[in-house]
Amino acid sequence: MKIPEPIRGFVDTLSQLPGIGPRQAIRIAFHLAGRSPDTAFSLARAAERLGELKTCPRCFYIHESDASLCEICSSPIRNTQIIAVVEKETDVLSMENTGKFDGTYLVLGNIKKTGGLSETQKARLESLKKRIMAMEGEMIRELILALSPTTFGDMASRMVEQELSPYATKMTKLGRGIPTGGEIEFADPETLGEAIRRRD
């Protein structure tokens, strides 16, 4: 008994995506194949449109605007003297949702669990350096290391700091402390320690 080839092909493609195992991929494949063809076709169209998105050559955020630069990088009211280095596109969204940041970004790309920066990440840092060197003063005012405070995030932060410290007057990190709604009882000592140090 052979699995129909289109099912097999879809399963192969789908199970390469983050967080999808072969079993779930098979379930999804038969689910789609069993519905009206429109369901599969609308997924196809949705995926196709994803492939047509552009990556901003400055901050590496993904966007759909007609211009080459993204909405943020092309905005005249954003502060290009303050750059936040984030890991993922969704981190840009999270930062934007706060409404508290008017600087610009550099999307570094997924942090590797093996330590070290990938070639893409190094290239992105290089492009930022070049851009800063072309600016007046060859330095920006502030570089925010906005990577998640996890073991690997902290490692990557240190590497980015080393690379970029000559290019920014000030290097900062996101504040650590008790999250809103979090209970002191369950805060780990490091978090609580940071919260005490940063009290105001």
The answer to the question of residue 172 lying near a copy of itself (CB under 8 A) is no
Q: From the CB of 41, what's the least distance to a copy of itself, in Å? A: 5
Helix ranges (DSSP H) in the chain = 5-14, 22-34, 37-51, 89-98, 119-133, 151-164, 189-197
Binding mask 61-90 for a copy of itself (x = CB under 8 A): -xxx------xx---------------xxx
The answer to the question of residue 165 lying near a copy of itself (CB under 8 A) is no
DSSP string, 67-105: SSS-TTTT-TTSEEEEEEEESSHHHHHHHHHHT---EEE
Site for a copy of itself in 3-42 (CB under 8 A): 3-7, 9-10, 12-14, 17-20, 24, 26-34, 37-42
Residue 63 token pair: 């966007």
Residue 195 token pair: 């919260």
Nearer to a copy of itself, 49 or 158 (CB): 49
The one-letter code for the residue type at 199 is R
**Site residues (vs a copy of itself, CB under 8 A):** 1-7, 9-10, 12-14, 17-20, 24, 26-34, 37-53, 55, 62-64, 71-72, 88-90, 92-93, 96-97, 109
